[in-house]
Amino acid sequence: MCGIVGYVGHRQAQDVIMDGLKRLEYRGYDSAGIVVTGDPELDVVKRAGKLSVLSDVLKTTPLKGNLGLGHTRWATHGKPNDVNAHPHLSEDSKLAVIHNGIIENYLPLKERLVEAGHVFLSETDTEVLVHLIEENYEGDLYAAVQKSLSEVTGAYALVVSHADHDLIVAARNTSPMVLGIGDGENFVASDVPALLPYTKEVIFLHDGDLVLITNDGVTISDFAGNVIDREVSTVEWDAEAAEKGGFEHYMLKEMYEQPAVIQQTLGGRLAGNGMDVQLDIGLDPNSIDRVIIAAAGTASYAGMVGEYLIEKLARLPVEVEVASEFRYRDPVVDERTLCIVVSQSGETIDTLEALREAKRGGAKTLGIINSKGSTITREVDDTIYIHAGPEIGVASTKAYMTMLAAFELLGIWLGRARGTLADADAKELIAALRQTPKLIEEALKNRDEVAKIAEQFKNYKDYLFLGRGINFPSALEGALKLKEISYIHAEAYATGEMKHGPIALIDDQMPVVAIATASPLYEKTVSNIQEVKARDGIVIAIANDGDTEIEKHADYVLRVPETHELISPLVNVIPLQMLAYETANRLELDVDQPRNLAKSVTVE
Ligand code: F6R
């Protein structure tokens, strides 16, 4: 959500910034802008729309200079137009500000600044920062930013430059930001991929960090000015891992990476005895008697699969909470509660605040996270990294897959430690887990069959997804994927719940995707499918290879290999992801950057 790139060094800032913003496109945005410190003034270009619109302008009028800031904006306050795009400049055109987040007290600040004679041009909350810093500026940019922040409440990753100084000042409160450390050059960005072509040495900023960046170095202090020593981390990803690698879209590439990345999640964590799991976490499994899983969107559906697994394998009661609700409803939490937060980015504000709420109640905390060094990983007691690598497509695929794998590991680990999972059951499950990469690969081979369904139903307005037991979350995830990237209305229900309402929707204009893979409830699922057929519904069943019975009931069958029921969500999600992808692609929609969505949701 919003992208920031700042550069000071020996290269042309415009090149570094435009390249970096391109690498951050996945975060979601609807306008973009750049400012470069020229001579004697700042040169700025801002445009609504995609980066290509901005690039076209820069081709004819390039901005020359070695210090600059760039921004992709995801609109919160004010429409996505040229004026509201960042950077925002002071009235004398000497000071430039870009900002991610929301300034909560911008209205009283604006009123005061307008009274003092400042003229506002945009509808954004960000613009108050420019006028405030301008008012506090007496020749020292760092001091002006520091003074201004004492008056501001809200969430921000803020980056400021001034025509009279060869330096950048940055500040972080809640919204993520990372420094890139180079040789005679330094960088600041909202996420690591922007930095990868230039440096792998990074410093993840913490809340309350104020930074002075020059080409020689970076100095981090708290808002009171006390210098802080922050660790430099080396990023393991390379720039290539974040590229499309010959695939038409990141989403497609990431779907095909799933057999490999799940091996990274499992790798080294399955013990040699074939029935235990090794997790490098300090949690005492017998010190808890309840689990809360808090997450958003796809990560929350991974959490629902986790609920089934932990309850079944470890006999601990689990509740899954939508993070944005949990934080505001005074939840009952104590020191015998384990709060698990699940997040690809590790920066989702709702999930982060849910974590903080659980901590206030005394809960033990565990993160299931992809991004190393992210804010959530710094605030939890322990983290199980999912090792999915960079996920660029806005619609999550491989992160979901590896979150599921992490929950499989955690469920087994808890079950073994608490004595609720017998040797033979653990062996069976782990043996099946080891087979999963191969089965996912098999499922991915059925792309053509899924593509035919996508072609046939791409112009339908509504879809229904049904699943039960551990595959109810799979149905929710299938519906979410389709909604997100194809903009087709889709709903998901627990299959047995259909007769309590949604069945009224069934007609020959409503394709129903029914998950009917091997399970003790298979027969009941088939009965539910018959109920749909009896009402002229169109049934697309997700069924196991070799299941001939299903052909008698469903209009279309998408095949997946059979596995242990508790592992089936990892395999069953493949045709669901593929259906969404193939549908959106046929509708010629922007698969990797669907409208209105952002990859990392850092505002409430
Ligand atoms: C769906 C999707 C979103 C995210 C959600 C949480 O495809 O990507 O629903 O899952 O915004 O994001 P993270 O996992 O970064 O906390």
**387 occurs within a structural domain:** yes
SS3 letters for 325-354?
HHCCCCCCCCCCEEEEEEECCCCCHHHHHH
What pLDDT score does 269 carry?
Answer: 94
The domain in which residue 478 lies consists of 445-592
Q: Which of 2, 46, 110, 312 is catalytic?
A: 2
Q: Are residues 267 and 282 in the same domain?
A: yes
Position 427 scores a pLDDT of 97
Q: Are residues 460 and 407 in the same domain?
A: no
Sign (positive or negative) of CA dihedral 489, 493, 498, 502 = negative
Residues 47 and 168 in one domain: yes
Q: How far is the CA of 346 from the centre of ligand 1 (A)?
A: 10
> Measured in angstroms, how far is the CA atom of residue 599 from the centroid of ligand 1?
7
Q: Which helix (H) or strand (E) segment is 33 a member of?
A: strand 31-37
Query: d(Cα 527, Cα 547) in Å, to the nearest integer?
Result: 16
Please indicate, yes or no, whether residues 322 and 190 belong to a single structural domain of this protein: no
What's the CATH code of the domain at 516? 3.40.50.10490
CB of 299 closer than 6 angstroms to any ligand 1 atom: yes
**Atom number, ligand 1, closest to the C-alpha of residue 299:** 10
- The residue nearest atom 3 of ligand 1, judged by CA position, is 297
| Least confident among 6-15, 207-216, 322-331 | 322-331
Is residue 1 over pLDDT 70? Answer: no
The residue annotated as part of the active site, out of 253, 364, 398, 599, is 599
- The minimum-distance atom of ligand 1 relative to the CA of 399 is 14
Separation of CA 395 and ligand 1 centre (Å): 8
Residue 598 included in any domain? no
Q: Among 442, 461, 494, give the residue marking a domain's end.
A: 442
Among 305, 344, 372, say which to mutate for ligand 1: greatest number of ligand atoms within 8 Å of CB.
344
Q: Does 601 contact ligand 1 (Cβ within 6 A)?
A: yes
**Statement to judge: residues 270 and 227 lie in one domain:** no
- Distance (Å, whole) CA 84 – CA 581: 33
Is the shortest distance between the CB of 5 and ligand 1 below 6 Å?
Answer: no
Residue 557 included in any domain: yes
Residues 516 and 472: beta-carbon distance below 8 Å: no
* Cβ(345) – ligand 1 distance below 6 Å: yes
**Ligand 1 pocket: which of 347, 348, 369, 477 to mutate (most atoms <8 Å of CB)?**
348
- Which pLDDT score, from 0 to 100, does residue 532 have? 93
Among candidate residues 371, 395, 369, the one with its CA nearest the CA of residue 255: 395
pLDDT of residue 104: 86
Residues 265 and 209 in one domain: no
* Domain membership flag for residue 329: yes
Of the listed ranges 87-91, 417-421, 501-505, 566-570, the least confidently predicted one is 501-505
354 lines ligand 1 (CB under 6 A): no
Question: Are 174 and 147 spatial neighbours (Cβ–Cβ below 8 Å)?
Answer: no
Q: Are residues 251 and 137 in the same domain?
A: no
Domains held by the chain: number: 3
Calculate the average pLDDT of the chain: 94
The per-residue pLDDT for 582 is 98
> Are 517 and 572 a contacting pair, CB within 8 Å?
yes
**Tens of pLDDT, residues 506-543:** 999 999 999 999 999 999 999 999 999 989 999 999 99
Q: Does residue 334 fall inside a structural domain?
A: yes
Same structural domain, 123 and 75: yes
Residue 178: which CATH number?
A: 3.60.20.10
Query: Is the CB of residue 476 below 6 angstroms from any atom belonging to ligand 1?
Result: no
Does any ligand 1 atom lie closer than 6 A to the CB of residue 194? Answer: no
Q: Under a CB-based contact definition with an 8 Å cutoff, are residues 292 and 341 in contact?
A: no
Percentage of the chain modeled with pLDDT above 90:
83
Q: Which atom of ligand 1 is nearest to the CA of 345?
A: 15
Q: Select from 241, 256, 290 the last residue of a domain.
A: 241
DSSP reduced 3-state for 291: strand
Q: Where are the alpha helices (DSSP H) in 445-567?
A: 447-457, 472-486, 522-533
pLDDT in tens, 243-271: 776 789 999 999 999 998 999 899 889 98
Atom number of ligand 1 nearest to Cα 400 = 10
Interval between CA 367 and ligand 1 midpoint (Å): 15
* Mean pLDDT, rounded, for 460-488: 97
pLDDT of residue 101: 86
Does one domain contain both 415 and 276? yes
Cβ 148 under 6 angstroms from ligand 1:
no
Say if residue 322 is exposed, middle or buried (CB neighbours under 10 Å; 0-12, 13-18, 19+). Answer: middle
Query: Would you state the pLDDT for residue 40?
Result: 79
Mean pLDDT of 268-297: 94
Whole-angstrom CA distances from 258 to 8, 263, 400, 438, 485 are: 38, 9, 10, 10, 19
Closest-lying ligand 1 atom to the alpha carbon of residue 297? 9
Distance 45 CA to ligand 1 centre (A): 31
Percent of the chain predicted with pLDDT > 70:
99
Whether 156 contacts 1, CB under 8 Å: no
- 597 domain residue, yes or no: no
2 catalytic residue (yes or no): yes
Short-list 520, 529, 540, 518, CA closest to 495: 529
Which has the closest alpha carbon to 200: 186, 188, 182? 182
Whether residue 469 has pLDDT greater than 90? yes
**Residue ending a domain, choose from 426, 442, 458:** 442
pTM as predicted:
0.81
Do 268 and 406 share a domain, yes or no? yes
Residue 174 pLDDT = 80
In a domain, 470, yes or no: yes
Q: Does residue 77 have a pLDDT over 90?
A: no
Does the residue 600 lie in any domain?
A: no
CA atoms of 325 and 328, how far apart (whole Å): 6
pLDDT at residue 41, rounded to an integer = 86
The mean pLDDT of 305-329, rounded to a whole number, is 96
What is the DSSP secondary-structure string of 146-174?
Answer: HHHHTT--EEEEEEEEETT-S-EEEEEES
* pLDDT at residue 80, rounded to an integer: 86
State in Å: Cα 297 to ligand 1 middle.
Answer: 5
Using a 6 Å cutoff on CB, does residue 324 contact ligand 1?
no
Catalytic annotation present for 599: yes
Whether 298 is in the pocket of ligand 1, judged by its Cβ within 6 Å, is yes
In this predicted structure, the answer to whether residue 240 has a pLDDT above a threshold of 70 is no
Q: How many other C-beta atoms can be found within 10 angstroms of the C-beta atom of residue 209?
A: 20
Task: Give the separation between CA 570 and CA 516, rounded to whole angstroms.
Answer: 14
Distance 37 CA to ligand 1 centre (A): 36
Distance 310 CA to ligand 1 centre (A): 22
pLDDT digits (tens, 9 = 90+) for 156-176: 999 999 999 999 999 999 888
- The DSSP annotation for 357-403 comes to HHHHTT-EEEEEESSTT-HHHHHSSEEEE-------SSS-SHHHHHH
Distance 384 CA to ligand 1 centre (A): 17
Residue 600 reports pLDDT greater than 80: no
Both 581 and 545 in one domain: the answer is yes
Q: For 73-87, 111-125, 276-290, which range has the lowest pLDDT when averaged over its residues?
A: 73-87
Are 509 and 381 in a shared domain?
no
